[in-house]
Every structure is written in structure tokens, then in C-alpha cells.
Copies of this chain bind each other. A is one copy, B any other.
């Protein structure tokens, strides 16, 4: 990654003309020449017909994948004059051969320094990912440019770090308005706020819980991360090297709290956002919050919703549910633990939470039945680490020089159009490796899938954010019959049981609805207005035209980390990996606007499918 403020020079290339570095450098020189000459036709000759240019903010002030030469031509035509790309050089020696070369590349634009990943096939570009890394003149102060922390010229009226911090905290949101408000102080809001702080964007994070990390602490007792540690770092400060592979919810909660303090975020906990509207005259948001019981009005220029990928808990109302005499709650309210000895529990749902909660209830003595209403993709944690993540996010990957930052970019370097083709073989391997496991699951009546097209877990996550379980042990409970599984639809609920469509009855003292969450638009409709929610349109999914992700094709996640159809309103979220990576681009977009840099957005997405 480029270190501000210098542009690394191209490494010495003393290799043969057929070396991948030479091949790539020749290509880069040609790209540079044609783009600087404005000769788009010549530039397009450098691409294969089957080509993809994915851009994170550096050309498009958007998150955009251009597919094929026509798309690229349209993008270059629209952006070249203002972006003025230049200085394309290898950041390190390229790899591969004449047939297939791969390279990390530095470049710059009129406004920013960029970092790119490039794949050539027979000397022409198949994929290029261009990303903005820092705005010129607004670099983060770190390493060589870190602050001194104290003036060594002593003058009267010097204030200590603590005094300045306390004054700033007392002022911001009252005498002085933040440039940005982030609604939601979970992992997403915290990581984004850290980037804002580094960039000098005055920001307040609004969080209804009492302490940073409570959004994790408040979940069921047995919850651990289902993704391994290498995938989960926050920006700037990595977990220590003895951090467990799968941290428990409380440990993550504590880490988020320490991180928030260490990064000196303006984090308003015990604060609820009650309403927000855009003040057209002032061109700013008016955000009503209740802080520790006292109403406060904030007037930020930019408003970010970081309330999670999910909206409100989704609890389907089954006929007769109101007559149920036992306890019933949504999975988000399931605390875990307790003594359920001799009690019967029915868990409706078969994704991550459903499995974890079944295991939790079984561990605590309950007789548990999982009700599976639709087929589910199961990926065993070990297999996922070995086959799907290991090359990018593992101790071995680090040892191979694949830093977290590089892994994030490599992960992003295959556009969503071609990602499934790359993922399918992984899951074919997984099906083969764990064949016995899958047949045992099928034998107890569990309805399995690997995604519509066999592309597995990550694409299910991108398309619909649901439909899978990363097996961390609960599948074995199903296989062994320690937790029963019942596939099919629910008919109704009685005072003491769940009745299935096939007429069978599941006696129940407890019903847990692990039935997921609504659309992210729910937050917007509620906190701003249904009209604004409609104007933003559907969030998440990329128009794959697969179940729960209708077309048209978008090629990027809808509304995430990029301009929406509502001005100065942004959506942030995703898992720890996405929050870490994409918060960089969102923060740069907001910083550019604060500094009055022109940010012409190329082809703002259309909005549709609010719900």
C-alpha cells in the first residue's frame, strides 16, 4: 500500500522482456500514454473483449463495475477530463507469465493517490480494480507524518491533551456541529468513525446501548464469531497475535469498547436517534436524538446509517401465536443460558442463529426441534477456512505476504459477474471433502443446498444475506438426533405446540423465531420517512436475479458505501471484513465533500424495490 506522502518508485526491472514485470510495465506505460493523450480507443485496445474494470471511487466517485469495452469507454469518456489519471507503475514485481500476469500497481489522479490490482491475459487486461487510497493534501497523519503530541515551545495557556479532549467532547454536537453523524455504533459505525477521525472529519456516532460493544454483548451467551480472526480485523489496529481464531461475543464487545476509546471517537452511547429530516434551505440534516434522556438536535452535513445489514427483527405472525402459553421471542432477544431441563423448545429457522440457539438450548437441557422451512447451505468452519478463506485470510496467507489489506483487494478484484464461476469449484471441493457429513445431514431430513448455482456461502451472503449456516458444531447435534429437525411449513401455533402443514404437532414450552430481519429500508422509513426510504430504494444484493435478489443487474451491492439517490445520505454495514474495507472508500467520499473537492458521480444507480 502506498505510504503517504511519497509515491513509491517502480521497482528495478532487470528481468527478461518476457518477465511478468516487463509485460505489465509495458502495458501500464501504454495505458498511461493513451489515457493522458485522451485516446480512449487506443486505451480500449489494451483490454480483452471479456474485460472488467472495477472502480472504488478513484475514477467514478462511486463503487462501480464496468463490464466490457463499451462500459469502460463510457466511463472513461465521462471521467478522464476531471480525473486525469497518471503515474501508473508497478508497486512491486508482477507475478505469473506471458499468458497470465498479475500485478499491484500505483497510480494517481488529479485528486488522489490510487492503488490497483491488474490481471493480464496474453498482454491484455482481463480485470482491473482501481481504488482510491488517499486524497492529495488530506493524507492521514501517521508514521512519518504523525503528530508531535506536544509543543516543545512553552507558552502560557497551553492545554493538556485531556483538557482539549474534554473541551472537544463538551462542544461537539452543542456549540459546534459535526460534519457527519453516524447512526449506529456497532462494528460498522465504530470502524467508519475511526477512519473519519483519522481524516479529520468531525463525526458523532449515535448508539442506543450503554457501552460500545453491547450490540455483541447483548446476544445469546454462546455466540462466537463464525469467521476466523484473520478476516475480522478492524481498521488500523489489528487483533493481537494471540487472539483466538473465533472470539466470543463478549471478548469482541470489549475489544470494540477499547478500540472506541483508543481511537478517541465521539461516541454517544445511551443515545437514540428518533427522527431525521433534510433541511433543504440549510442543505443539511436535522437529526433528533435523545442522549441520556435529554433531547439534542444535531445538524450534520452528512448522515450515515450504520444499523447493520439487517433491518428490524422479522417475526412472522402465525395463526394462533397469540394463544401460545409458553415463552416466545425473536432470536435477537434470546439471551442463552438458563436451565431448560425437561422443557421442549421449537426453533423456527435453519440459518446461523437458529443453529446456535438450538445448540444453546440443548446444552441447557431442553428437548429441541429445529423447524426448517427452506433449504439451507451448510459450510463447515474448517472447510471454509481451508478452501474458501485460507488463501487470503489465514496465518499462512500472512506468511506468504498476503496482508489483510492485500487480501481485501484481492477479494474485491473479481467482479460479481465472474465471482460465482470462481466460487463454484470451491464448493464442489467442499461437497466432496465433507461428503459423509452432508449425507448424514440429508439422512436426518435436513434440506441442503449450495446456492442456486452452487456458488456457496459468500454469494448467498452478497445476494440475500441469508440462507446458510457456518457449521461450528450444531450440525452434529442434528446428525446425532440430539436436536430434531423437522422440514416443512408451519400451519399454526396452539397454546402448547407448533402445528406443521403436514399435520404433525411439535409440543413446545418455548418458541424461538430465528426468522431473520427485515430490509435495511425499514430503518430509513422509520427514522426519516417512507418517501426517503423509497427514494433510496432497496439496499444490499446486486441484482443477481436469484432467490431474494431480484434483477435488474447492478453489479455492485445496492446503496452500500456509495452515493444514494438521497443527497448526503449514506448506508454503511456488512460483516467485519466489509466494514473494515469499504469504510475506507466511504470515508474518503465524505472527506472529499467536506473539503469541497469536486466529486462528480458516474452513473448513480437507479433505485427500486424498496422492500
Does residue A81 face the partner (Cβ distance < 8 Å to B)? no
Contacts of A250 in B (CB 8 A): 160-162
**Residue A261 contacts which of B156, B236, B258, B365 (CB distance < 8 angstroms)?**
B258
Does residue A150 face the partner (Cβ distance < 8 Å to B)? yes
Contacts of A160 in B (CB 8 A): 221-222, 248, 250
User: Whose C-beta in chain B lies nearest to the C-beta of A160?
Assistant: B221
**Residue A381 contacts which of B152, B161, B474 (CB distance < 8 angstroms)?**
B152
Q: Choose among A141, A149, A363, A473 the residue with the greatest number of B CB atoms under 10 Å from its CB.
A: A149
A363-B158 in contact (CB<8A): yes
Does residue A50 face the partner (Cβ distance < 8 Å to B)? no
- Minimum Cβ distance to chain B for residue A313 (Å): 23
Does residue A148 face the partner (Cβ distance < 8 Å to B)? yes
B395-A143 in contact (CB<8A): yes
Does residue A484 face the partner (Cβ distance < 8 Å to B)? no
B240-A262 in contact (CB<8A): yes
Does residue A99 face the partner (Cβ distance < 8 Å to B)? no
B476-A146 in contact (CB<8A): no
CB contact list, A124-182 vs B, under 8 A: 140-144, 146-158, 160-163
A144-B395 in contact (CB<8A): yes
B241-A236 in contact (CB<8A): yes
B242-A363 in contact (CB<8A): no
Copies in the complex: 2
B149-A241 in contact (CB<8A): no
- Minimum Cβ distance to chain B for residue A261 (Å): 6
User: Whose C-beta in chain B lies nearest to the C-beta of A154?
Assistant: B473
User: Whose C-beta in chain B lies nearest to the C-beta of A250?
Assistant: B162
B147-A245 in contact (CB<8A): yes
Given A262-B240, A262-B258, is A248 in contact with B161 using a C-beta cutoff of 8 Å? yes
B261-A254 in contact (CB<8A): yes
CB contact list, A369-421 vs B, under 8 A: 381-382, 395, 398
- Minimum Cβ distance to chain B for residue A248 (Å): 4
> Could you give, for residues 463-474 of chain A, a 1 whenever the CB lies within 8 Å of some chain B CB and a 0 otherwise?
000000001111
B258-A154 in contact (CB<8A): no
Contacts of A242 in B (CB 8 A): 140-142, 146-147, 198, 236
Does residue A251 face the partner (Cβ distance < 8 Å to B)? yes
Does residue A224 face the partner (Cβ distance < 8 Å to B)? yes
Given A140-B242, A142-B242, A144-B395, is A363 in contact with B157 using a C-beta cutoff of 8 Å? yes
**Residue A150 contacts which of B153, B198, B224 (CB distance < 8 angstroms)?**
B224
Does residue A609 face the partner (Cβ distance < 8 Å to B)? no
Q: Choose among A150, A229, A261, A477 the residue with the greatest number of B CB atoms under 10 Å from its CB.
A: A150
The secondary-structure label for the interface of chain A is: loop
Does residue A317 face the partner (Cβ distance < 8 Å to B)? no
Does residue A255 face the partner (Cβ distance < 8 Å to B)? yes
Contacts of A244 in B (CB 8 A): 146-150
Does residue A312 face the partner (Cβ distance < 8 Å to B)? no
CB contact list, A455-489 vs B, under 8 A: 471-474, 476-477
Does residue A243 face the partner (Cβ distance < 8 Å to B)? yes
- In Å, the complex CA distance between A322 and B161 comes to 37
A477-B154 in contact (CB<8A): yes
B245-A146 in contact (CB<8A): yes
Contacts of A474 in B (CB 8 A): 154
Contacts of A153 in B (CB 8 A): 473, 476
- Minimum Cβ distance to chain B for residue A341 (Å): 10
Contacts of A151 in B (CB 8 A): 473
A152-B472 in contact (CB<8A): yes
User: Whose C-beta in chain B lies nearest to the C-beta of A198?
Assistant: B242
Does residue A437 face the partner (Cβ distance < 8 Å to B)? no
Can you give 10 A-B contacts (C-beta < 8 A)? A147-B242, A148-B245, A150-B246, A150-B248, A152-B381, A154-B363, A160-B222, A162-B251, A163-B221, A198-B242
Given A140-B242, A142-B241, A149-B248, 18 more A-B residue pairs with CB atoms under 8 Å apart are A146-B243, A147-B244, A149-B244, A149-B245, A150-B472, A151-B473, A152-B382, A152-B471, A154-B363, A156-B362, A160-B222, A160-B250, A162-B221, A163-B221, A198-B242, A236-B242, A240-B262, A254-B262
